[in-house]
Amino acid sequence: MIKQSPSSSILSKSVLVLDTLGKAPGAVRYSDLVEQTGLSKSTTHRIVSILSSEGLVHFDKSTKTYRLGYRIMEWAAKVWQEFDLREIAQEEMNKLNKETGENINLAIREGNEIIYMNRVESFKPIRAVSTLGSRLSVHYTGLGKALTAFLPVEQQIEIAESIKYDTMTDRSVRNSKELLARLEETRRLGFALDDCEFRDEIRCIAAPIFDHQGITVGAISISSLVFRVSKETLLSWAPKLLTASKSISRKIGFVGGKHCRFIQEFYNTELKF
């Protein structure tokens, strides 16, 4: 007896149909669904019939098209109600901490400020510590830049022009023009750098976390003390950081798209400085 591979199972084919409908910009005709999934007509018909009977797919008789069913929406709503970015990011944060030995931070943005939500501390004797729940202006930190750089341009400008540019070090961003330039650099690289801009003794790199709509919902960073880790070494960890941010993004539904084309291309390209 030939053992059926996982990729040929009815479950995997059903997931393929659901995934195709979920990624489609609108309702899908049966012929297009067959073409896009690569399944036979009979298999596609059998699967959509089962999924429709379970409320996972909706068939519109007037247009003879298919889309995701309301049961999927109910499940999605429950997932988002129980969504905890800290819990979802924990595994990747622990991994980064183990690989680098440095502090790994998680933050979200509220207005012009970031809020530290979680941290995995360095296991080394002297650590760069951030207080959970503390707030900082987005212009001070790599986390702030990562959280702001992928917003719509109009929103970036609005934020940049509304900030009070107090300086913490000689390297702190001093005005909106400089911040917008740093945000552009962040988009180009895919990650942000804080080069002793908040504290003279601390550098960090930070990468955005995207949700299923390609919207930035958080950012993670690797922060280090300048006497212990060189700038070159910190930058060499950027691929690890981006791998972690991509993994977290995938876990909360990020699949790419036109609205986040750049970051999708960056994730699939070798990092070069």
DSSP 8-state symbol, 171: T
CATH fold of 83-267: Beta-Lactamase (3.30.450)
Tell me whether strands 57-60 and 135-137 are parallel, antiparallel or unpaired: unpaired
Sheet holding 57-60, edge to edge: 28-29, 65-68, 57-60
pLDDT at 8 over 70: no
User: What's the first-to-final CA gap in the chain, in angstroms?
Assistant: 53
Rg of the chain, C-alpha, whole Å:
22
Structure tokens at 159: 């934020």
pLDDT at 150 over 50: yes
Measuring CA to CA, which residue among 3, 224, 16, 208 is closest to residue 104?
A: 224
Q: Is the pLDDT of residue 82 over 80?
A: no
Tell me, what's the pLDDT at 37?
A: 93
220 backbone dihedrals φ, ψ, rounded to 5°: -120, 155
- State how far the Cα of 114 lies from the Cα of 156, in Å rounded to an integer: 14
Supply the CATH classification number for the domain 6-80: 1.10.10.10
Question: Is residue 5 over pLDDT 60?
Answer: no
CA–CA dist 60, 21 (Å, integer): 14
> What average pLDDT does the chain have?
86
**What phi and psi values does residue 190 have, to the nearest 5 degrees?**
95, -5
146 compared with 123, residue with greater pLDDT: 146
pLDDT at 123: 78
- Domain residue ranges in the chain: 6-80, 83-267
Of 28-37, 67-76, 173-182, 230-239, the one with minimum mean pLDDT is 67-76
Q: Measured between alpha carbons, how far is 1 from 130 in angstroms, rounded to an integer?
A: 59
The predicted pLDDT at position 24 comes to 87
Q: Is residue 159 over pLDDT 50?
A: yes
Q: Which pLDDT tens digit goes with each residue over 96-145? A: 999 999 999 999 999 999 999 999 988 776 555 566 778 899 999 999 99
Residue 32 has φ and ψ, to the nearest 5°, of -70, -35
Tell me the pTM: 0.69
How buried is 192 (Cβ within 10 angstroms: 0-12 exposed, 13-18 middle, 19+ buried)?
buried
